[in-house]
Homo-oligomer: A and B are copies of this chain.
């Protein structure tokens, strides 16, 4: 009872199933809840590009502009492609569903498995990064990094268990704040540039010849920049969470998110180039830009704070997407059925809790230093990107709807760029992304094992026409007795009611008690057969189990069932349980799991 009260306080009152509609997302809320991951990537994506270019020299920095354009092209391709997916799969079309229905089971499982792991990585990476930002501001908290990160995950988990709308209300403001902060930064930066307040010689001219530059390096820089695109698939997974018309609202939200992402990314990319920002280990690029535009005044801290906050909240995207993907996989029987169950507040609580626990494990295992997981995480995103867009190509080719040539080309461009990014990741960052090659096969093998089990189960449970179920002709009831008491009398009455043959069994630890019992029994219940068993080792289980084996064999031979009746004391107070031998519980589990007999528990409730 106390547990349920605590649960209520943390999570809120249970909701009825028909209140489901009320929990659906409006476009503006959806934008907040589903885009924090994608938008927060702007905080580190541009920096990743500059880090790669800086290995050549400052003169190479002008390449960030064409690379940025490349990323924007990919972004456009992804947004257009996912818009098509949303309309084609209005009941939720993540990479898993698109790949599975167009490319086959294993392609779907690769996409689904990648994303499942990826959402866990999202949470761990984002929360750790946000915690780092927080503890950079308050260095005395730095030693408690891991605990703070774990508490943040717990907090986000609870918010999500409360339900999708309420968590959106809380989480919407920081996202808007971040967008506003970066828009102001870009606008003020541009205004300063156009009004000539920024020297023009801070950056190399576009087109300057760069010695030592290679296509390989440029592609590597491009792939690094692509980490700014992680998270854009979240909307397409979450279509069923939108208010009706769900598909249209989701598609519009996706475009809105794409536009905002493009503006923020372009702004940061351009300002970084124009101000000649050089990536430093101890200060982020965004922080340097803000410093250059505003100096270290209130606006600087506002931008830094909003960035830190959105990084933590990016984790929330994982919490929105993971349970929905889990529902898809569980519906297809690849993961346990429990992920299908809606909790008290209508969220898929098992998915939410699993994600929270897994990411806390990751954070603890890496002591909060999860930045090294970023490439793993990015590659885990681009594998499903590639698969889902390839799936769309197959779909267009097969179905050939009106205007399919345009649709095909959109997805083709997206698929090719995504595939290139994956290949570049594997060739240039193999030391960081190899675990994918281990974990993915294991996960897919597990998916198949689970599915096989469910299918075998279904097969065994299915009633085949013409196959007659075994009709029992009688019921043999065995009642283990420890003495002559009301409980035994009670049990025997019940046994005679439900069985045609009743056998009482008494386990004696010595000859004397055996004799005594037999004599007493003869006087008490002469019409019920008593079997006494000797136990040399003072064990109830062993002689009883041997006897039950024999009885079961005999009963089955006569087409009769065997039931063992176990009386169970129900004490009035919890502490009194220790005063009673818990052998009835042990006996029940043993008989059920080892012996396959039917077990009936007859409760005997103490009044005192």
Contacts and interface: CB of A to CB of B under 8 A. Distances in A.
Interface string A583-608: 00000100011001111111101111
A521 to B, nearest CB: 13
Interface string A559-594: 001010000111100001011110000001000110
Interface of A: 14-18, 336-338, 341-342, 344, 450, 453-454, 456-457, 460-463, 469-472, 474-475, 484-487, 489-490, 493-494, 497-499, 509-510, 535-539, 561, 563, 568-571, 576, 578-581, 588, 592-593, 596-603, 605-608
Which of A18, A463, A510 has its CB near the most chain B CB atoms (within 10 A)?
A: A463
B460 A486 contact: yes
A603 B608 contact: no
Given A490-B469, A493-B470, A497-B561, A576 B537 contact: no
B602 A601 contact: no
Given A14-B537, A16-B536, A603 B607 contact: no
Contacts of A470: 490, 493
A536 B344 CA distance: 10
B475 A606 contact: no
5 contacts: A337-B581, A338-B578, A456-B606, A471-B493, A599-B600
A606 B510 CA distance: 40
A579 B463 contact: no
Contact of A536 (B18, B337, B485): B18
A489 B602 CA distance: 24
Given A14-B537, A600-B599, A605-B596, A336 B579 contact: yes
Given A14-B537, A337-B581, 17 more contacts: A15-B537, A16-B536, A17-B510, A18-B536, A336-B578, A336-B579, A338-B578, A344-B537, A457-B608, A460-B486, A460-B607, A463-B486, A469-B490, A470-B493, A568-B592, A597-B603, A601-B601
Contacts of A588: 601
A376 B463 CA distance: 72
A493 B472 contact: yes
